[in-house]
Amino acid sequence: MKIIVTIKVIPERIKFNKETKRIDRDGVKMIINPTDLIAAEEANKFRNPDDELIGISMGPPSTAEILNSLFKYGFDRVYLLSDIAFAGSDTLATAYILSAGIKKLVPDFDIIFQGDYSVDGATGQIPGELAAFLNIPFLTHVKSVNKKEIIRKTEDKLEYFEYQTPILLSVSDDANYGISPNLFYLKNAESKKTEIVDSKSLNSDISQCGLAGSKTSVLSVIQNEVKISKSLIEENGAEEIAKLLKKVGVI
């Protein structure tokens, strides 16, 4: 089987640039999106030893080095889709680029694992949009998957589904704790490198990538209004808390 995990590299601390209306990535330490590592662990639990685990990411070339750490977790191949034409992509353009990468690089994939959302963007739209571009079924909030069934969590139920591959699953952030480096894979990890793939080699349609392919735009960034009408308590805070807890019957 060929198992894909999509990976996003994000800034460790989120700093919003009011002028560019985007997240500032300059000079900030970059990490792998934690929810993607949770998806990677689910993929690792699901895989048989002879299955192939493939990472696909989109971002600037500088993130290739961070992606190299994926080999420690047992990834066999890692691709970074990187092109100036991809810059400024909203979720729809990102989903298109990922789909173009998957169709070109792993056309015979069986299953795609994703994080439910990325910690920096948190839109949670990529799974549905990517599934649409690939025209395959998908489920979000997946708690676990085995060869027979998928269990996923909705607002008030656990739902069980039968499925066929190919399928896309986005994994719930409470499904597990995230993948750890594996001693078995560590010895070969150093020799492997992320392969950078540009728009031309994907034959991707530039009009669907980056800003040109984005269908949403930011009009302005506004400061949330905060009206603190009450006067703040500056002394005997603990006593005031205890009094209130007693008044309302907590203690």
Partner 1 sequence: MKTLVFFKQNNNVIEIARKISEEVKTASFNPCSDCAEFVPEMEIRSFENGVHFIEYVEERISPDLMLFSDETIIRESAAFFAGKRKLGLISHSNNVYIKDGKIIGVVPGWENLSAEVYSLTKPVLLLLNSNTKIPFSVENTETVKIGPSRLKFKKDTAFDKNPLETAKVVIGIGRGVKKSLIPQIKKIAEKINAEIGCTRPVADSGILPLNKVIGDSGVDIRPKVYIALGISGAIQHTSGVNAQYVIAVNSDKNAPIFAISTLPILGKVEEIIPELEKWIKNIL
| Residues of span 49-88 touching partner 1 by CB under 8 A | none
Q: Give buried/exposed letters for 208-246 (b at 16+ CB in 10 A, else e).
A: bbbeebbeeeeeeeeeeeeeeeeeeeeeeeeeeeeeeee
* Half-sphere exposure in the Cβ direction for 27 (13 Å, CA): 2
Q: Cα-flanking dihedrals φ and ψ of residue 102, to 5°?
A: -65, -45
183 binds partner 1 (CB under 8 A): no
Of the candidate spans 66-74, 106-114, 149-157, 195-203, the one that interacts with partner 1 by CB under 8 A turns out to be 149-157
The smaller minimum CB distance to partner 1, of residues 78 and 142, is found at: 142
Q: Tokens 């989109």 map to which residue?
A: 58
E strand or H helix at 244, and its extent? helix 237-247
Task: Pick one of 36, 42, 83, 90: the residue that binds partner 1 (CB under 8 A).
Answer: 90
- Check residue 95 for interaction with partner 1 (CB under 8 A): yes
Q: Which is nearer to partner 1, 128 or 192 (CB)?
A: 128
Out of 133, 181, 189, 198, point to the residue binding partner 1 (CB under 8 A): 133
Distance CA 199, CA 81 (A): 8
Do the beta carbons of residue 80 and residue 204 sit within 8 Å?
A: no
Of 192-221, binders to partner 1 (CB under 8 A) are: 208, 214-221
Assess 29 for contact with partner 1 (CB under 8 A): no
Q: Which of residues 99-128 bind partner 1 (CB under 8 A)?
A: 116-117, 119, 122-125, 127-128
